[in-house]
Structure 1
Amino acid sequence: MALVNAAIDEISMTPFQWKLFAFNGFGYAVDSLLIVCQSIAQPGVDKEFGRSHKIIAGVSLASQIGLLAGAALWGFSADIIGRKLAFNSSLFICATFVLLAGGLPDYISFSTMVAIYSAGAGGNYVLDATNLLEFLPVSHTWLVTFMSIWWAVGYTITGLLAWAFMPNYSCPESSTHATCHRAQNWGWRYLHFTAGSLVLVMSVARLAFVRMSHTPRWLIAQNRDEEVLMVLEGIAKKYNSPFSLTIQHLESQGRVLHSERSHWSALRLRKHFASLFQTRMLTYSSLVIFANWFVIGMVTPLYFVFLPYYLASRGAKVHGDKGQYTKWRNYAVNQVAGLFGPIIAGVLVQTRVFGRRGTLAVGAGFTMVFMFGYTQIRTPSQNVGVSAAITAASNIYYGTIYAYTPEIPPSAHRPTRYGLCVVLNRVGGIIGVLVGSYADVETTAPLFVCAGLFGVLVLLSLSLPFETRGKRSV
């Protein structure tokens, strides 16, 4: 690994890594785009079809279950079959089922499609962050943090589409299941058709402009030294970069044990999990990062999935406006504000004062403060301004945790640990949806819970044992 890392640093930054930044970023954008797509659709779907369960938000629950399945599938398989398959196929899966979801005639079938397309997206940022990190020279590892700008881009695109479609093609706020009919409720369908088309374009672009190979660090872990040399030498020759690594250098380090066994052997599978708890410090690090992801999982749907309800109810209370246009305009403003979070995070993580852990604490701390403030809003401008500040501040946290998580574990087991993190995140998400379903989202009670959870994240962030700023992942 040290030799491969040195070779990547020698090649330095090339157009290939910049293309990876863009096209791996598509996976981030799709993940957020689809999470928001179903949450925007839920109020309209509820009115048109009626909920299968009167209390539980079934569409959001289906999304979280699908995301859980996708995280387990893509995350746990990536150390076994490599990162290449997910890069080439996951967006096609998403696009197909998002387009199908827009034409479905009832609550159950729509929720099923939501679960399937969420499963396709569920492991995207696990694999996309890993793919990028394992090709980057140490001088540009900050790009993994900055790549979360794509996550905010996904939110922004969907927020703007919602503003365009939902006010004009949705049942009135006062309508019920009995009075809301398909002919007047095409907004969420147009949203899915447009989002699915965008994802399809992204998936074709990935295949057309990037010839993705297995990452050199994964190949090293599989004892495939010749392929490592082919991949790195190919990049160096294409972009006229210096390259001095030889097959003799690699083979002189010996062989990786047990690589002759089947990828699916019990021993190899067990080692991927056992390695995350090999020492006391690694065990502590894994447990704290797992706790971070579990808490994020609870707070994300509790606030962001139910954000349309919050904006509508708070808007009605501060100025009596229950109109669709105002609600979705405010929603779009929120998502545009979220673009600033990853930019701020990308700067802070490189400073000595903050680093990764400090930036996590800053993002969580400001989000907590703004959420407490959101419970006290009195005017329309406060409603928009404070909710937008929450989105921007929380994206500082999200952008950093997405980058920090893959930097810690060794490459041979990186997606396994990241996959475990995201599985726990989705379990927390299911809990968050259930809490939000039984809570009254038109009151401030869920906001106090969200603020408290971000306070917990401040403490968990400062408890992380490793600071990765300026250090090389292995």
Structure 2
Amino acid sequence: MAVINSSENLSDELKADLARVDASGLDPGYERKIFLVNKVLQEEIGMGKFQWQLFALSGYGWLVDNIWLQGVAIILPQVGNEFFDAQHTPWMTFSLYMGLITGAALWGIVADIIGRRPSFNATLFIGGVFGVAAGAAPSFTALGGLLAALGFGVGGSLPVDGMLFLEFIPGSHQYLLTLLSVFWAIGQLISSLLAWAFIANYSCTGSNSNPQPDPTVAPQYCDVSTNNGWRYTFYTLGAITLTGFFLRFLMFQLPESPKYLLSQGRDAEAVAVLRDIARRNGKELPEDVMSLAILRAAAGEEHNEAEDDALPVVDNGLKSVARDFMRIPSDLVKSVKGMNAQSFKPNMAHINPLFATKKVAYNTITLWLIWGFIGLAYPLYNSFLPTYLNERFVGSGVATAASTDATYRDYAIISACGVPGSIIAAWLVELPRSGRRGALAVSTLLTGVFVFAVTGASTDTAYLGLNCANSLVQNSMYGVLYHMTPESFPAPARGTGDGVASSLNRVFGSMAPIIKIYAGTKAPSAPVFTSAAIFCLAAFLAATLTVEGHGKSAL
């Protein structure tokens, strides 16, 4: 591999890389190093055992995020029965979103400040502990608080896991970032099947809501001791989450991202990590292909040969990973202390690349708006889908064992229909004419169309069929969105850009239970129509994005 040491011998490929819209505002030396790292990942290291293991563990994080998002939606009817507060159960969704908002923003920013690895391990640990605790909640208020803490943990899974995986894979396999969303769909399916198994069989069928909406109907209170299905569901989901943490923490032992290390000026460590990845893939990375001298020469920087003898050894051992994990609070304190004490201005190095030019700024703001709008539209319908199904089967009467079983049976079927959507999305993003933008615009528009159509379904079969179609295109939409977001931001600002996007998704999503409570009671179809309209608006915005990642390696 030729050394790139001056502007005169730049390859056409590198010149095109330097001219990219999303490269605006980056240090040219850093970008040349990233170009070289991408070449090494593509041509020397390739897609091997290390990346496939990371694919599975990153996908596990996405799975966990959705099992809890769907898990909370699933338990709402039974929580209302147990705590005599069916009218206000949407506030449980609001509590979860409060945690998701802070978690998404914090963990994304933390990943830019202290590294990807600590965030990667911490999110599942926090989510698992508080998920199990939520299953033992003694009161309505306690459940809300525990769900907020749970959300704080798992809220970082999507932004951190996606960008981390992107930074370790060769450009030819970036479509796998879209395929990660299949885990999101599987997470929904797991929640649905667990609910069908536990809630349908270990739940009371009467109502604890007081007073009865119809005074002519005799109250049918249920025995709370027979209503443990939702608790069993939460215990199981908590165990699944903690299993993912132990797989990451004890078995895989992830090294730090080389692109993050380069963004921090830790070039020697980045070279050491690349060699470690090659070894874990059963290959060797020769000195004449990747060394500290070559990396510095690529950026036109001076190199001290004495540094070659002191190249650090990558420590992925349990003690090292544990130290990173325990270091999070102290590193955050140091970061805050490092702010300019006189002007109180924070370090903008993680923000400026997101607004370097008008095109970049427009793409950043539009992408964030899309995340926000979809964040509102999705839970307006999906977070209350079990409730909608339950209302359809029960009508104005009292729930029965048969209606409860039918509710969770149909929810499991709808969840299963969504799994192929992620696979379709991985194919769509590689189409040269449509690319990421076209795939996102089309899938989002179809989602809006099918949500509109659901409101007109006159039979149970039509209702189920339209929901299945909606689940398919909806998972395609999220798969593309999860792909193109980290791909649109360069590594120095990727965590921040991704974290803000995910946080806005949760901020807007937190409005869904409020709309459901106050608008849905007067006009039951209002939240659904609102959801469909917002999806259509997001589709229009997607078509106007200025950054297209098709055929390019992530910076």
- In the TM superposition, 1:255-334 aligns within 5 A as 263-264=335-336, 265-266=338-339, 269-316=347-394, 323-334=403-414
Aligned residue among 249, 263, 275 for 1:221:
263
Q: CA deviation at 1:423?
A: 1.5
Aligned to 1:26: 60
Change over 3 Å in CA distance of 1:300–1:229 after alignment to 2: same
Aligned to 2:217: none
Q: Distance in 2 between matches of 1:289 and 1:347?
A: 21
The answer to whether the aligner puts 1:453 opposite 2:498 as a matched pair is no
Rg larger in structure? 2
Change over 3 Å in CA distance of 1:446–1:394 after alignment to 2: same
The answer to whether the aligner puts 1:236 opposite 2:296 as a matched pair is no
Q: Are the aligned partners of 2:445 and 2:536 in contact in 1 as well (CA < 8 Å)? A: yes
The answer to whether the aligner puts 1:153 opposite 2:195 as a matched pair is no
Query: Which amino acid in the other structure matches residue 35 of structure 1?
Result: L
Q: Distance in 2 between matches of 1:84 and 1:255?
A: 28
1:409-433 deviations in Å (ceiling 9; x for gaps): 1101101011111121111011122
Q: Distance in 2 between matches of 1:319 and 1:2?
A: 64
Aligned to 1:43: 77
Aligned residue among 49, 66, 75 for 1:15:
49
Partner-residue secondary structure (3-state), 2:93: helix
In structure 1, list runs of 5 or more residues that go unmatched: 257-261
Aligned to 1:74: 107
Q: CA deviation at 1:360?
A: 0.7
Q: Are the aligned partners of 2:207 and 2:222 in contact in 1 as well (CA < 8 Å)? A: no
- Once superposed, what is the RMSD of the aligned Cα atoms? 2.2
Aligned to 2:148: 115
In structure 2, list runs of 5 or more residues that go unmatched: 1-33, 212-220, 303-333, 341-345
The answer to whether the aligner puts 1:124 opposite 2:148 as a matched pair is no
Q: Distance in 2 between matches of 1:214 and 1:311?
A: 45
Q: Are the aligned partners of 2:99 and 2:150 in contact in 1 as well (CA < 8 Å)? A: yes
Q: CA deviation at 1:255?
A: 6.6
1:32-59 deviations in Å (ceiling 9; x for gaps): 011111111222112211339x557221
- In the TM superposition, 1:32-431 aligns within 5 A as 32-51=66-85, 55=88, 57-172=90-205, 174-176=207-209, 179-241=221-283, 243=285, 244-252=289-297, 253=299, 263-264=335-336, 265-266=338-339, 269-316=347-394, 323-431=403-511
Query: Which amino acid in the other structure matches residue 292 of structure 2?
Result: I
Q: Are the aligned partners of 2:366 and 2:545 in contact in 1 as well (CA < 8 Å)? A: yes
Q: CA deviation at 1:269?
A: 2.7
Query: Which amino acid in the other structure matches residue 31 of structure 1?
Result: D
Q: CA deviation at 1:320?
A: 11
Aligned pair count reads 468
Q: Distance in 2 between matches of 1:168 and 1:127?
A: 37
Query: Which amino acid in the other structure matches residue 245 of structure 1?
Result: M
Change over 3 Å in CA distance of 1:432–1:462 after alignment to 2: same
1:325-371 deviations in Å (ceiling 9; x for gaps): 11110111111111011011011111123211111112112111211
Q: Are the aligned partners of 1:48 and 1:177 in contact in 2 as well (CA < 8 Å)? A: no
1:139-185 deviations in Å (ceiling 9; x for gaps): 10000000011111111100000111112122215553582442021
Change over 3 Å in CA distance of 1:51–1:321 after alignment to 2: closer
TM-score by length of 1: 0.94
Aligned to 1:259: none
Query: Which amino acid in the other structure matches residue 465 of structure 1?
Result: T
Partner-residue secondary structure (3-state), 1:426: helix
Q: CA deviation at 1:317?
A: 5.8
Q: Distance in 2 between matches of 1:337 and 1:437?
A: 29
Which shifted more, 136-145 or 294-303? 294-303
Q: Distance in 1 between matches of 2:209 and 2:249?
A: 45
Identity of aligned residues (%): 35
Query: Which amino acid in the other structure matches residue 40 of structure 2?
Result: A
Q: Are the aligned partners of 1:173 and 1:324 in contact in 2 as well (CA < 8 Å)? A: no
Partner-residue secondary structure (3-state), 2:409: helix
Partner-residue secondary structure (3-state), 1:339: helix
Partner-residue secondary structure (3-state), 1:136: coil
1:76-124 deviations in Å (ceiling 9; x for gaps): 1110001001212221111111111111110011111111011100011
Q: CA deviation at 1:467?
A: 1.4
Q: CA deviation at 1:27?
A: 0.6
Q: Are the aligned partners of 2:205 and 2:399 in contact in 1 as well (CA < 8 Å)? A: no
